[in-house]
């Protein structure tokens, strides 16, 4: 076994320990998904605390730069959530978000990241339970993947 392989396997095993606390960013549109998150809170639906919610006016606001910057700053996964198709308050913002997420999925693969580190989810203001379940599922996916390592790569490590 070469020294490089040994270092990699140590890194992989470290990143997938049970102690791994993933850093998840969840961009939620103001009109539906953020209200869904709010409903989850007032309904006292329990969900994993590792997601940090960032309110944006529309999922269409999310661009490739924001997603790449999130990984560059240490995020292990990025969730984008918006209104269901046909319900976007800016008419086609969620359609734009879907295209952006498809491009972002391809882009992060070229950077060595798994496409599963990105998730697009439609959540309405009435779907607090769905919001909580989506966060839990995504955190579990990211825990299984381990740390993204994108920040270390960006710093030359
Ligand atoms: S306003 Fe919710 S996705 Fe556009």
157 residues of the chain, pLDDT tens digit each: 333 444 444 444 444 556 889 999 999 999 999 999 999 999 999 999 999 999 999 999 999 999 999 999 999 999 999 999 999 999 999 999 999 999 999 999 999 999 999 999 999 999 999 999 999 999 999 999 999 987 656 666 5
Alpha carbon separation from 60 to 13, 28, 36, 64, 122 (Å, rounded): 37, 10, 18, 11, 12
Contact 50/24 with Cβ under 8 angstroms?
Answer: yes
Instruction: Say yes or no: CB of residue 80 within 6 Å of ligand 1.
Output: no
Rounded to two decimals, the pTM is 0.86
Residue range 21-146 in CATH 2.50.20.10:
no
Q: Which of 32, 55, 98 to mutate to test the pocket of ligand 1 (most atoms within 8 A of CB)?
A: 32
Instruction: Say yes or no: CB of residue 90 within 6 Å of ligand 1.
Output: yes
Alpha carbon separation from 46 to 91, 111, 126 (Å, rounded): 32, 34, 16
Distance between CA atoms of residues 82 and 123, nearest Å: 6
65 in helix, strand or coil? helix
Q: Which of 28, 94, 95 to mutate to test the pocket of ligand 1 (most atoms within 8 A of CB)?
A: 94
What residue ranges do the domains of the chain occupy? 21-146
Distance 127 CA to ligand 1 centre (A): 15
Distance between CA atoms of residues 85 and 89, nearest Å: 10
CB atoms within 10 A of CB 127: 22
Distance 93 CA to ligand 1 centre (A): 6
Alpha helices, DSSP H, located in the chain: 3-15, 33-42, 64-72, 93-110, 128-145, 150-154
Distance 138 CA to ligand 1 centre (A): 21
């Amino acid at each position: 076994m070469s020294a490089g392989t040994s270092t990699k396997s140590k890194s992989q095993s470290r990143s997938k320990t049970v102690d791994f606390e993933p850093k998840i960013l969840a961009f939620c549109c103001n009109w539906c998904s953020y209200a869904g998150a709010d409903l989850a809170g007032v309904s006292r639906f329990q969900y994993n605390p590792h997601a940090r919610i960032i309110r944006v006016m529309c999922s269409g606001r999310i661009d490739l730069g924001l997603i790449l910057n999130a990984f560059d700053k240490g995020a292990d996964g990025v969730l984008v959530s918006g209104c269901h198709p046909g319900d976007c308050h800016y008419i086609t913002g969620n359609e734009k978000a879907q295209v952006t997420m498809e491009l972002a999925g391809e882009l992060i693969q070229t950077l060595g990241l798994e496409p599963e580190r990105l998730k697009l989810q439609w959540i309405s203001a009435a779907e607090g339970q769905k919001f909580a379940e989506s966060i839990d599922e995504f955190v579990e996916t990211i825990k299984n993947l381990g740390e993204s390592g994108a920040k270390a790569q960006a710093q030359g490590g």
